[in-house]
Structure 1
């Protein structure tokens, strides 16, 4: 097995081949390497990083179970130093089981990625290593502690207990500027829930859907596409604020915010030309 350099964590050295590595230790300081979903050891070039002294939009990535697609996107955005949180929209966390009719089912907001990793490794280490679930969970537990459900999220509620999450700096106030879902049914669920929540903060949020198949390889590619969109949006927002100032930005008014909102369709159209195989949707909503 090899390592994904984006999630550096130390692992005990194996003395002899085993079916699957044990779950990594709790995250401490970032290191150069960690196991990737497919166990590769290659070291990809470092990705783009937004300087900490530059303006940054706050992002939220969302899929069904907050396990694969949203977590890969979460990782890539956080690695670019963009404030990021992530969620799932399902009623329960569902992962593949021994057969298609026997999924592994867990509760959101309480069952940790580490606990799921341990349980699946005990059930059938060979199966869940072969289908990539154990490596996926190893990645996830180094990003944050547990899968979260979008419908249980309270906009504006401080996320101080998430200080150890990757991408946490900037998300402490529990607000976001951009939400990116990975499947149309998740997009619909997000818009419905935002409507039900009533927009009590009176704060605009751009909601996108980037359609990504729910497998490990497509999640990686989709994560790159989402990062590309996020960087384009952030660059446009920063430029508008440099020209017009930040007055009225938070409340969705003012020249900078108006200019950014007007440019979003153009940004999405240009992004879609770069990623023609990933159909996208967009809507403006309120939190």
Structure 2
């Protein structure tokens, strides 16, 4: 079965892009989005983040941070993260502006507030297609190590859906098995397009 997947996080493009990269390598039909107002990357201090508009090419961000302080951004993992992102897609997209164009079978979020935003967004749409969409939250801390783990877990979960003949009838079973195997609790709900 070939399903369409969306990976969604807040605004820094780490967790959703790591999952996107891992699923893309395995041949999945996948997209990724952020939900914030801007793309925010760590800066020299908490009060000085690097802020970019959605749609700004990752290559531009990479070049900008290399000009500003290459050692800092290499050390904190932002340059390697942006290099990975350049290999996945050209620029970050915002869920609220871009996702209405796509219809996904499974939307995976990586923090509860993003899960709530996606569910609310889907709820507020006109449900003209009456096509089922599963929204799942896999809570992942926002650091490079946890993003890598979260990406592997997202891939594992999506592989389970792909191996199922009729995923709509197997959602509860797949989720329960995943939670047992990985000692992780998932939030999930069904919505419609």
Q: TM-score by structure 2 length?
A: 0.96
Are the equivalent residues in 2 in contact too, given 1:66–1:86 (CA < 8 A)?
no
Task: Name structure 1 gaps, 5 residues minimum.
Answer: 1-54, 158-173, 241-259
Say if 2:69 is the partner of 1:124. Answer: yes
Q: Shift of residue 285 of structure 1? A: 0.7
| TM alignment of 1:65-80, pairs within 5 A | 65=11, 67-80=13-26
Are the equivalent residues in 1 in contact too, given 2:109–2:136 (CA < 8 A)?
yes
Q: Secondary structure, in 3 states, of the residue corresponding to 2:88?
A: coil
Say if 2:20 is the partner of 1:92. Answer: no
| TM alignment of 1:1-287, pairs within 5 A | 55-65=1-11, 67-108=13-54, 110-155=55-100, 157=101, 174-236=102-164, 239-240=165-166, 260-276=167-183, 278-287=184-193
Cα shift readout 1:128-180 (whole Å, capped 9, x = no counterpart): 0000000000000110010100011253x3xxxxxxxxxxxxxxxx3210000
User: Would the alpha carbon gap of residues 97 and 66 (structure 1) be closer, same or farther in structure 2, given more than 3 Å must change?
Assistant: closer
Larger Rg: 1
Cα shift readout 1:35-58 (whole Å, capped 9, x = no counterpart): xxxxxxxxxxxxxxxxxxxx2111
Aligned equivalents of 1:151, 1:279: Cα separation in 2? 26
Q: Once superposed, what is the RMSD of the aligned Cα atoms?
A: 1.2
Report the count of equivalent residues. Answer: 193
1 or 2, which has the higher helix percentage? Answer: 2
Q: Shift of residue 201 of structure 1? A: 2.6
Q: TM-score by structure 1 length?
A: 0.65
